[in-house]
Amino acid sequence: MKLFLIRHAEAIDYETESVRSDDLRFITPKGRKTSTTVFKSLKDYFIDLDKVFTSPLIRAVQTAEVLAATLKYKHDVEIANELLLNGAVSKVTQLLKRNTVFNTIALVGHEPLMSLLVESLTDRKELNFQFRKSGVCFIDYDADKGTGKFEWYYNYKNSEFIK
């Protein structure tokens, strides 16, 4: 399966007048613009996207919605509690195993889970990049074997692929 790991877009600071909980942080206009630019740049890679799962936190859901709108994705974005901040790699691998009917899946979540997934699901045991907000990593993943091949990480700051 083609697996895309996506870190949520830039969000507001932890505390504002109206937001006093990390769970309620939402993406900024800059975060929305950056993620839209990233998804437009990678549109051809997402051409056959079958399923989008997102953390239930607002900033991840909003990032997934930007992805869906940018790609004109015709299906529902689905909440997956496995992608919460304190999510476990083992729970995410179970989620992927339950969804092998899909050929291409995008997971929208948070750090450090996104980096842990790259290290746990692929042959890349140490990252030579920082998984930034609005960052996208592509893995060729075999859910039956529970292993994958790291293909690339897109560094939007330099518009380059790290392989």
Residue 17's CATH number: 3.40.50.1240
Where is 152: in which H helix or E strand? Answer: strand 147-155
- Whole-structure pTM value: 0.96
Radius of gyration of the chain (CA): 15
* Sheet with strand 147-155: strands edge to edge: 77-79, 51-54, 104-109, 2-7, 136-142, 147-155, 160-162
Residue 43 lies in domain: 2-162
Positions in the chain whose pLDDT score sits under 70: 15-16
pLDDT, position 157: 86
Distances (CA, A) of 138 to 57, 117, 163: 22, 11, 10
Classify the C-alpha dihedral 10-78-22-153 as positive or negative.
negative
Strands 160-162 and 147-155: antiparallel
- Overall number of domains in the chain: 1
Q: What is the pLDDT of residue 106?
A: 98
- pLDDT at residue 158 in the model: 86
Quote the tokens at residue 53: 């799962």
**What's the pLDDT at 15?**
66
pLDDT at position 43 is 97
Name the DSSP letter for residue 27.
Answer: B
